[in-house]
Structure 1
Amino acid sequence: MANTDQPTTDSHVAILAFPFGSHAGILLAVTRRLASASPTTLFSFFSTSQSNSSLFPSDLPSNIRVHDVADGIPEGYVFSGSPHEPLELFLVAAPEIFRKAIASAESDVGKKVTCMLTDAFFWFASDMAAEMKAIWVAFWAGGANSLSAHIYTDLIRDTVCVNEEDGCMEGTLGFISGMEKIRVKDTPEGVVFGNLDSVFSDTLHRMGLALPRADAVFLNSFEELENTLTNNLKSELKRYLNIGPLALLSSTSQTDTLVQDPHGCLDWIKKQGTASVAYIGFGTVATPPPGELLAIAEGLESRKVPFVWSLKEKNMVQLPKGFLERTREQGIVVPWAPQVELLKHEAMGVFVSHAGWNSVLESVSGGVPMICRPFFGDHRLNGRAVEAVWEIGVTLIDGVFTRDGFEKCLDRVLVQDDGKKMKSNAKKLREQAHKAVSENGSSVENFKRLLDAVVSTLN
């Protein structure tokens, strides 16, 4: 799968995507911007065929070539049922997979790779780039808080206890500038708890050790969101670049006619009152268990809050009997919703989310307070920042939905005085986000620095 037209290339950039979750899609969005800004640079994008087939439109620029790579699953392999299994198999096989694919791509175009732009998970790219006499630029798919947790993993392990029974999980990471309100228990699995010897935990640890060697590290955020952490990471990394929120950048180049809305969510929300609607969406990977879906439905119905609920069709059977009929005038349940556009609408009052980084940033970009139900990874960390650092939302008590707990959260955010404060704080962050992506904004200037790093050569 590759474009046949080739530009007259000044440099050749290999894009190594992590083909799970939203990682590859974000990296593609950045690649398209880079390709547009540097039309004489060739960008070779590497990911699995399954990932590529879901990502690529027919209107790719001529200087982006798409390459399918193996998924790392051995022939005849029998899965044990762990959701992390495909991910870990790919990570183990990735160094050899990418080496072969890059060599083939170099042969095809007759030009050596001058830059490796990779998902930060691929820590081994540091050595590969050195061998190839190329520069290494890494993309971190989360925020500054989770990046810091992985860069400072050894410091955190050496400073805090790792025994959950003695209460130290409630302690904070105040010894890291900018993480004074983050607790040990908020850190991602693999830092101080969970299976520290798993493939994924080992990958994150090695990544944290390798990233200071990268020529640049960039992420989908904006400096003003986490000023202290930004300054701290600038001292740890050669070039640390916030280039987002990408959702704001992409929306400026689209018209309303291009927004997909197959279920009429935007028409529906236009009829609702200002800051009254709850949007419920948990991304592409996480879904609350049946008992929690029941609690969400009962809370919405009891409080009569207007809602848009993005819920996979296979999970709609878990809703209370008659719920859809009884709430037909109150809200809509759809298998997919235009999340970014909904969160920008003035009628949106609260985003009920898993607190994945992209969702948090989209909520910030829309100035919408949050109710967070973390699942794994950086979710707890982001949820803690939403509640205690930025004060733009709340995290569910004990991290799970109960009817009573959800109702209290809805009341707090949508009705009570501290909810008004959350809305005010969220609006301030929205203004800073928009400023960051405006002309001469911090993220626009950082993108120029990223472009300079990526297309420069060592010749």
Structure 2
Amino acid sequence: MAGSEDSPAGKHVAVFTFPFASHVAPLLSLVRRIAAASPATMFSFFSSEKSNLTRFPGGRRDATCPNLVAYDVWDGAPEGYVPSGRNPVEPVEIFLRVVPGNFESVLHAAERERGRKITCLLTDAFYWFAADMAQERSVPWVPVWTASPCALLAHLETDSIRQIFGTSGMTLDAIPGLSAMRMMDMMKEVLDETAPFPTMLYRMGQVLPQAAAVVANSFENIDPIVEGELRSKLRKVLDVGPFVLSPPPPLSDEHGCIPWLDEQETASVVYVSFGSVIRPPPHEITAIVKALDKTASPFLWSYRGDAKAEIPRELLESATGTRGKVVPWAPQLHVLGHRAVGAFVTHSGWNSVLESMIGGVPMVGRPFFGDQSMNARAVEAVWQIGVAVEGGAFTEEATAVALERVLAGEEGKRIRERVGALKEMALGAVEPQGSSTRNFDALVEIVTG
């Protein structure tokens, strides 16, 4: 029995992931750090079979952490299921129908196989049911929040936001920490009281105050007002981010992005990327290409899809030439840290916002869903380290104007100074005596102590 490796009385941490979008990778990275810091503690990592196959290609054992083992939980889909494509959250809704039973059954199996009872639940914050599971077992529950702090605050303030919305309120200035936000920036999930995914988020906001600590992919003093509100509502908040800096990823540059950037002038290149999920509609892609051509900006575009088939050939050839480079993937953190990059055209996902801060690069935001609108608003109105595309969608004129604002003139200079200050704060947080490092040590103590 695997549990014979250590005393049955030792520590055993169960990790529950939300196996969709960008949730798994940051949680797995954090767990590997904790596992390395506490090698005598067992970690059992629960995710869907599809997710685990991509994260543990060599089998259930982790190559870098011998005390970490992966377990498959049922995703709820019947055999032969193929998503219809009509509803992008359909797989999520199917999955939510079978929680928490799918986790409970595999959790018992992991305890039997490894010979130790669970001593802590470390989960994606979405999993409201983990509060009851932890209470039943008399173990700490430590949820991990991977999105932005202001989005977390919005979920804790859902009832107040819905009340304001119900009276046709257009601003949230009555809610401390969210006063810069407008109702148009709010996540639609906060306002929806019926669908399964919004219901999950609402229940999460109700039970998070029960958690032993809430872990955040952020760093202290990034937004003191929001931080103060979160600390007043939650038992303990541990900012241990930016996750991507602990440790930073190794450079993998199969498409030659860095050598190409080496040939460009300082702060001249526009980097374009919309993450691993989002692709703007065709007319907006065309608008971006035309705007880049209009501003004569050199650009690097990490394009998810078939650029040659999806971008009009004459536009692509005109815009690229010797001035642009389109690749299927780019080492984003390293690209944003390069001296040649002067602007980042982004969907405003939280990981991308953090990576832009780390690189000291101003942003041009075009949000699509989730917390992206709140992030884009914070970038423009709270931190003032970028601008949102006017009208909320890419047009040639709006995109060109936004690029000019962040790349040139006094406004661009002030934006670069402010994002540079946040860069220093982020890098300082992960130093040996930095706030995120101290918070990580406190997290290890809670999880394995």
Q: TM range, normalised to the smaller chain?
A: over 0.9
Identity %: 44
Alignment of 1:160-309 (within 5 A): 160-162=164-166, 168-169=169-170, 171=171, 173-192=172-191, 195-251=192-248, 258-309=250-301
How much does 1:70 deviate?
A: 1.2
The letter of the residue matching 1:108 is E
The letter of the residue matching 1:28 is L
- Counterpart pick for 1:425 among 415, 418, 421: 418
Are 1:334 and 2:312 an aligned pair?
no
| Distance change >3 Å, CA 311–CA 3, structure 1 → 2 | farther
Residue in structure 2 matched with residue 152 of structure 1 by the alignment? 157
Are 1:356 and 2:355 an aligned pair?
no
Question: Within 2, Cα distance between the matches of 1:285 and 1:37?
Answer: 32
Residue in structure 2 matched with residue 94 of structure 1 by the alignment? 99
Matched-pair contact (CA < 8 Å) for 2:347–2:365:
yes
Q: Which moved more, 1:232-241 or 1:386-395?
A: 232-241
Residue in structure 1 matched with residue 56 of structure 2 by the alignment? 56
Determine helix, strand or coil for the equivalent of 2:271. strand
Determine helix, strand or coil for the equivalent of 2:218. coil
Determine helix, strand or coil for the equivalent of 1:439. coil
Residue in structure 2 matched with residue 132 of structure 1 by the alignment? 137
Determine helix, strand or coil for the equivalent of 1:225. coil
Residue in structure 2 matched with residue 17 of structure 1 by the alignment? 17
Deviations 1:355-391 (A, max 9, x none): 0000000101111100000000000000000000000
Matched-pair contact (CA < 8 Å) for 2:165–2:183:
no
The letter of the residue matching 1:409 is A
Q: Which moved more, 1:237-246 or 1:75-84?
A: 75-84
Determine helix, strand or coil for the equivalent of 2:190. coil
Question: Within 2, Cα distance between the matches of 1:3 and 1:109?
Answer: 5
Matched-pair contact (CA < 8 Å) for 1:72–1:92:
yes
How much does 1:94 deviate?
A: 2.2
Question: Within 1, Cα distance between the matches of 2:198 and 2:65?
Answer: 37
Deviations 1:106-153 (A, max 9, x none): 010111001010001110110111112221100111111000000110
Are 1:73 and 2:65 an aligned pair?
no
Matched-pair contact (CA < 8 Å) for 1:141–1:219:
yes
Matched-pair contact (CA < 8 Å) for 2:2–2:115:
no
Question: Within 1, Cα distance between the matches of 2:90 and 2:447?
Answer: 32
Determine helix, strand or coil for the equivalent of 2:222. helix
What is the TM-score with the length of structure 1 in the denominator? 0.93
Task: Tell me how large the CA RMSD over aligned residues is.
Answer: 1.8
How much does 1:323 deviate?
A: 3.2
Determine helix, strand or coil for the equivalent of 1:142. coil
Matched-pair contact (CA < 8 Å) for 1:6–1:63:
no
Question: Within 1, Cα distance between the matches of 2:57 and 2:262?
Answer: 30
Question: Within 2, Cα distance between the matches of 1:430 and 1:22?
Answer: 23
| Distance change >3 Å, CA 308–CA 174, structure 1 → 2 | same
What is the TM-score with the length of structure 2 in the denominator? 0.95
Determine helix, strand or coil for the equivalent of 1:435. helix
Determine helix, strand or coil for the equivalent of 2:412. helix
The letter of the residue matching 1:36 is A
Determine helix, strand or coil for the equivalent of 1:14. strand
Question: Within 2, Cα distance between the matches of 1:418 and 1:87?
Answer: 42
Gaps of 5+ in 1: none
Question: Within 2, Cα distance between the matches of 1:142 and 1:123?
Answer: 16
How much does 1:446 deviate?
A: 0.7
Question: Within 2, Cα distance between the matches of 1:423 and 1:186?
Answer: 24
* Alignment: residue pair count: 442
Question: Within 2, Cα distance between the matches of 1:218 and 1:361?
Answer: 16
Residue in structure 1 matched with residue 302 of structure 2 by the alignment? 310
Determine helix, strand or coil for the equivalent of 2:321. coil
Matched-pair contact (CA < 8 Å) for 1:384–1:395:
yes
The letter of the residue matching 1:284 is S
Are 1:446 and 2:418 an aligned pair?
no
Determine helix, strand or coil for the equivalent of 2:70. strand
Matched-pair contact (CA < 8 Å) for 1:8–1:41:
no
